[in-house]
Chain A
Amino acid sequence: MIPLARKTLVHEWRRFLPAVLAVAFSGLLLLMQAALVFGIFGATAVYITASDADLWVGYPGTQSIELGRPITPRARTALLMDPGVARVEPFAWIDGDWRGPAGTGGVSVFVSGISPRPEGMIFSDVLTAAQRAALREPFAVIVDRADLPKLGVPIGGRALINGQLVRIAGVASGIRALGGVNVVASLDTARALDNDTGGSEVAYYVAKLKPGADAAAVAARINADAHGYAAWTASSFARRAILYWMFQTGAGLGVVFLAVVVFIVGAIITSQTLMGAIAGSVREYATLHALGVSLGSLRRVVLEQAAWIGVGGLVAGAVLSFGLIALARTQDVPVQLNVPAWLVCAALVMGIALVSGIAAVRALRHADPALLLR
């Protein structure tokens, strides 16, 4: 069988290039908006994703870190008793009111009370051992470098959190929060800053598992006998937090809406280009039809071309996206992508190409052999 679709694509690539580009840019738009949304809303799960804990235990039904409630210390005992758990660490999460020097007013802050030991799990990816050790000093805190102007205090400066005097002992990067400022302190400092419970209870316990232990299985074991607390694997808790923010703020719906728009625009442009290409060869198609090749077979040629255009657009779009994401990273633009997002975008891109092909098939109506006899 002569591969008419592919041969024509290669030979007349100039004619098909606009369609490939339309598909590529549709893919680029879809991917970039996904990357931005995941990048921006990924901040809501930074406590989880920047830590090396395998398991999180918190108040039942908690949808995002900041919605945590104090839980019973029995949760810690339950974790320690599980054969799969290696280490357990409390994590305090407290709302705070930051009062800096006059001129910055009050700032809402989220105080993370973490273990100052070198093997501490929370923020293990963003804090050095020295920074952790600095937190041992009572009322020492660490903030994100980018938040300093908002707080109005330089490194070493002092301010009030919930009425207690704290000192900025250092700065880190990669711990910015969405809708507030993350302040990292030791557990002891956090307890002292907690006006609600007086620090007797924390909102979370995190656990490191023994090598080979299955996080989902341990979580299931803990949940089977839990009263007043619940366990999640780190990845499922992070996903919960991101999804909660995306849909609570309507951003998720925005993404879906924009994806639909991109899909439609991409499909219209691609189908128009394809129809143009078919119209250019309509006499040849009509000749084949005269020779008895059915319209169904001709349609398959067009759909095959559309599929190849989709593949070409996918490759070009992926290359462009990689470049743009790399550029965004150098400019501190929050972008983040995961495999499911890539797969969904790839499926949408192929969808655009195939829907265009189906629309372009209509151009074959003009491949009436009788037109060759006029």
Chain B
Amino acid sequence: MASDIHMGYTSGKLRTEILRGLSLAVDAGQLTLIAGPSGCGKSTLLSILSGLQRPDAGSVVALGEDLFRGDRHTLDRFRLQHTGFVFQGFNLFPALTALEQVMLPLGYMGVADAAARERGCAALEEVGLAGRMHLLPAELSGGEKQRVAIARALVKQPQLLFADEPTSALDAANGQIVIDTLRRIAHEHGTTVLCVSHDPRLVTHADRVLQMEDGAILGPVHA
């Protein structure tokens, strides 16, 4: 999927190389975990693999498409059609109910309201929030918020799902639910789930674990 990725930041006169010629392939229909200490470049790698950030050099091919060949709009469209995201912070709109959060991206994809509602309900049911659809984020617990965020990513029926430290703000029980949900999505929907985390609890649940350090993949560790 990714080959020879280079990425660095310039801060003042200092140039920091974060990714140094990294290459990697991720399997479809699996939960792949990229683990590593903080600062090793795993979040940067995720943002490049998901088309959020353009690398200094190298290419990413996803679903047969070279992500960084087109312009910004092509990239936006690719993400809208094919990718879902779950972030460490839940980033839910305070004004919208759980169901509305989930329906929101569908509106931008051109899905009609009735169909969006149906798909939104189904997605929330899948993450176990059928009874809490009409609550605002302020009325939900942290674990529930993250499940709404997962439902929001899931409802688009993406082929690619990216998760960045999805459990770091959650307690053990809620973290467990989130991991199980991500894994189930990979296996039941055939979605390629790429998760970045330094949470050791995740390692045993991933189909494949890639250990990362200092901007390079050390090698696969199969769970």
Contact = CB atoms under 8 A, between A and B. Distances in A.
B73 A284 contact: no
B89 A283 contact: yes
Contacts of A152: none
Contacts of A12: 94-95
Given A4-B104, A292-B76, A292-B83, A373 B44 contact: yes
A2 B164 contact: no
Given A287-B87, A369-B47, A374-B43, 17 more contacts: A2-B104, A4-B104, A288-B104, A291-B105, A291-B153, A292-B76, A292-B79, A292-B81, A292-B105, A292-B109, A293-B80, A293-B108, A372-B164, A373-B44, A373-B46, A373-B52, A373-B164
A11 interface: yes
Interface in B66-95: 73, 76-81, 83-85, 87-89, 91-95
Nearest to B164: A373
A291 B83 contact: yes
Contact of B79 (A10, A290, A295): A290
Contact of B52 (A283, A288, A297, A370): A370
A291 B94 contact: no
Contact residues on B (Cβ < 8 Å of other chain), bracket: 35 or more
Interface string A294-329: 110100000000000000000000000000000000
A7 interface: yes
B94 A286 contact: no
A131 interface: no
Interface in B91-128: 91-96, 100, 103-105, 107-109, 113
A102 interface: no
Interface string B33-54: 0000000000110110010110
Given A10-B95, A291-B153, A1 B107 contact: yes
A291 B85 contact: yes
A281 interface: yes
B92 A284 contact: yes
B156 interface: yes
Given A1-B113, A4-B96, A372-B89, A288 B105 contact: yes
Determine which residue in A7, A10, A291, A370 has the highest number of CB atoms from chain B within 10 A of its CB, and name it.
A291
Interface of A: 1-2, 4, 7-8, 10-12, 281, 283-284, 286-295, 297, 369-370, 372-374
9 contacts: A2-B103, A2-B107, A10-B95, A288-B105, A288-B108, A290-B50, A372-B87, A372-B164, A373-B47
A284 to B, nearest CB: 5
B152 interface: yes
Contacts of A293: 76, 80, 105, 108
Contacts of A287: 85, 87, 91
Contact of A370 (B53, B92, B103, B156): B53
Contacts of A373: 43-44, 46-47, 52, 87, 164
A245 B101 CA distance: 59
A195 B152 CA distance: 90
B112 to A, nearest CB: 9
Contacts of B79: 290-292
A289 B91 CA distance: 12
A284 B108 contact: no
Nearest to A297: B108
Interface string B136-180: 100000000000000011001000000010000000000000000
Contacts of B153: 291
B91 A286 contact: yes
A289 B83 CA distance: 12
Nearest to B109: A292
Nearest to B45: A373
A284 B91 CA distance: 5
B93 to A, nearest CB: 5
Contacts of B94: 8, 11-12, 281
A11 B50 CA distance: 32
Give the 7 A-B CB pairs with smallest separation, nearest first: A292-B80, A11-B95, A292-B79, A1-B107, A287-B91, A373-B43, A7-B95
Nearest to A1: B107
A182 to B, nearest CB: 60
Interface string B51-67: 01100000000000000
Given A283-B89, A293-B80, A2 B96 contact: yes
Given A4-B96, A7-B95, A372-B91, A292 B52 contact: no
A369 B109 CA distance: 18
B14 to A, nearest CB: 17
A124 B46 CA distance: 83
Contacts of B88: 372
B47 A370 contact: yes
Nearest to A5: B95
A291 B79 CA distance: 6
